[in-house]
Amino acid sequence: MQPPTVLVVDYGAQYAQLIARRVREAQVYSEIVPGDTPVEEIVARKPAALILSGGPSSVYAEGAPVLDPDLFTAGIPVLGLCYGFQAMARALGGEVAPDGTREYGRTELTVGGSAGVLHDGLPGTHPVWMSHGDSVVRAPSGFTVTASSERATVAAFEDTGRRLAGVQYHPEVGHSPYGQEVLRRFLQDVAGITPGWTTSSIIDDTVAAVRAQVGDGRAICGLSGGVDSAVAAAIVQRAIGDRLTCVFVDHGLLRAGEREQVERDFVAATGVDLHTVSVADRFLDALAGVTDPETKRKIIGREFIRVFEAATAEVAVEEHVGFLVQGTLYPDVVESGGGSGPGGSNTATIKSHHNVGGLPDDIEFALVEPLRALFKDEVRRVGTELGLPETIVGRQPFPGPGLGIRIIGEVTFDRLETLRAADAIAREELTAAGLDQTIWQCPVVLLADVRSVGVQGDGRTYGHPIVLRPVSSEDAMTADWTRLPYDVLERISTRITNEVAEVNRVVLDVTSKPPGTIEWE
């Protein structure tokens, strides 16, 4: 059953996904729709409420998104944030004007004499996060101004009779300490939504959707060892039992201990039917002499799907396998312009951003994507409730092409062994320091085509550098480098240069995303 849905209307905001996540943290299901979605299409979806996001434009800029006033006569509760607040005011007959001076960053919000529903009982002044060049200078008729700031006379307004409200600031960011409470009040007290989007309800709804889709059919899932494919498989197995078969392709590009972890921990937790295929030599032969990153991805993707096809044929000797399970997450859906509710699925060519990347264009399956409505943090909670061990649920993201794209240069057996050893040391030390939950992930990169002079013992060396890339992120859309303690960095560096013979230098990547990406290739 589709839960009550809040639509986040995205006007180009850097925080649109964060808004959607914050709504879900209030136990209300949310989805993102483009800012140019027609009103009739929005109304047809029967949302429980709308949240209008911020955006980079001035309401006066040529081509800036313009709200259709009909949006506010459809009886749908609406909350405008930042640009959405200004566009809402303008569409309803209020007045918006350029500030002359912009208001960016931490700002003190002053709650008015009439605090309204959203700010009632909150401190009379408290910090919020602003980012605007225009301001609402006159609220629309029927609205009560409930807060102001130094440069924004109208920083919040409400018309609770029509279930409409807006704030100039960003309640979704951590810099607005009362922001989550403001969002909760809108959802429950203004829009009248009863919270119900819980981990248990997610599992129940998704299992039901998978059963309805697969029917009496059989499904196969390519396990990567990561949390997404593991949780997807666990949900599908709960839905269809032994009619799911999982295939784990050991392509030789895995990190130390990953195969054993999948074969031991995942099977023990789920009892799933697992087939492991060992084809390291095949992948190394295909990658011989290749240095271009995109070519590597395509080769790895091509070989993976061919091996997977062969494994599927073996599984389906007696009975046709009609469905392929994938661990597609909601950010993938947003980036590719799609979207549907929990348990949503479709029949489509496998896209390159799913799982391994660079897959051939001629492969089509009926896809089962049980996680396509979820963010990564929700996936982890679902995995925990399904009984998966922390070694899987808490695993940091790892690219489908594996270590093949963490070697800058040709991929060889010796280089893989060198990188595996360095990566294992970095992971061991981060775990020992209790930092696994502090960082999003820490790619370890081997600069195989670079050598530098060093001194080890009494001799001169000419070894490879290893790059550490610790990053912090909420959804991998943006990321910052993690400020690891110096003593942890020192232990990692000392151990790698002492224990990994081919490495004589360890360097730290301190680039944010953007401009850099999380992975080097």
DSSP string, 300-362: HHHHHHHHHHHHHHHHTSSS---EEE----HHHHHHTT---STT---EEEPPTTSTTS---TT
What's the confidence (pLDDT) of residue 147? 95
What's the confidence (pLDDT) of residue 513? 85
pLDDT in tens, 20-45: 999 999 999 999 999 999 999 999 99
Using an 8 Å Cβ cutoff, are 52 and 12 in contact?
no
pLDDT at 413 over 70: yes
Buried b (16+ CB within 10 A) or exposed e, 336-371: eebeebbbbbeeeebbbebbbbbbeeeeebbbbbbb
pLDDT in tens, 226-285: 889 999 999 999 999 999 999 999 999 999 988 888 888 888 888 888 989 999 999 999
Average pLDDT over residues 304-320: 81
Using an 8 Å Cβ cutoff, are 23 and 51 in contact?
yes
pLDDT at 339 over 80: no
pLDDT at 521 over 90: no
pLDDT at 89 over 90: yes
Per cent of the chain over pLDDT 90 is 60
pLDDT band of 396, cuts 50, 70, 90: confident
Average pLDDT over residues 162-187: 94
Nearest alpha-carbon partner for 519 in 484, 456, 467: 467
Catalytic residue positions? 82, 170, 172
What's the confidence (pLDDT) of residue 343? 42
Q: Which residues contact 337 (CB under 8 A, 6 or more apart)?
A: none
- Altogether, the residues listed in the chain come to a count of 521
Q: Which of 36-40, 60-64, 458-462 has the highest mean pLDDT?
A: 36-40
Average pLDDT over residues 169-182: 92
pLDDT at 353 over 50: no
Looking from the CA of 6 toward its CB, the CA atoms found within 13 Å total 37
pLDDT at 156 over 70: yes
Q: Which residues contact 382 (CB under 8 A, 6 or more apart)?
A: 199, 202, 203, 231, 235, 371, 374
